[in-house]
Amino acid sequence: MNFARMAFGAAISAALVLAACETPAKVSVLQSATASITPGATYAWAPAVSPTGHGDPRIDNDIIRERIRTAVNANLGAKGYQLVSDPESAHLLVAYYVGLQPRTDYRVDTFGGGYYGYGYGWGMYGAPSNVDIKTINYVDGTLILDLKDRASGQLAWRATSEKRINEGDGAQDRINKLVADMVVSLPGTAPPAS
């Protein structure tokens, strides 16, 4: 009976740790006061090739470019925007930018000692006897999605998504969700595709 409770507790703890590993993206949106976005407007991809990763092979490749374009097209289409092939006939021009930044964090774990009921402080066993400092290296990713008013050339809307990158974040379904979270505030008639 005691073993079953410990196993159940360990399973719950593992599930919470795995859930915590999926870090949500932080999305911020800028919208122009002068260049408006009309729901259902036509859009085209900006003629210039979007600079993505400045040569970073993890993101600057045909597979990732196609997945991002697919996610943007699906989500803009779900919001009622219409893709056209000729940039000269579009109301909006779309571009995106991707960047990866290596980061380092530290975690300190202590073992031994502790409080065991003898007033305030470390208790009868004293201060922790073992301190373990772990260096955690990870990558922060940023995706910027721009919609420019073609006629004026002004930036009409920009969404920036920042998150800690995990293995598998380059999968189509995860990129779709990331872009869906970015376009939530974009004026439109339907919820974004996820």
SS3 82: strand
* Domain locations in the chain as residue ranges: 25-182
The structural architecture, per CATH, of the domain 25-182 is 2-Layer Sandwich (3.30)
pLDDT at site 12: 40
pTM: predicted TM-score of the whole model, two decimal places: 0.71
pLDDT at site 109: 80
Taking 70 as the pLDDT cut, the residues of the chain under it are 1-23, 48-54, 111-129, 190-194
pLDDT in tens, 56-65: 788 888 999 9
**In this structure, are strands 42-45 and 26-31 parallel, antiparallel, or unpaired?**
unpaired
pLDDT at site 41: 94
How many residues comprise the chain? 194
pLDDT at site 55: 73
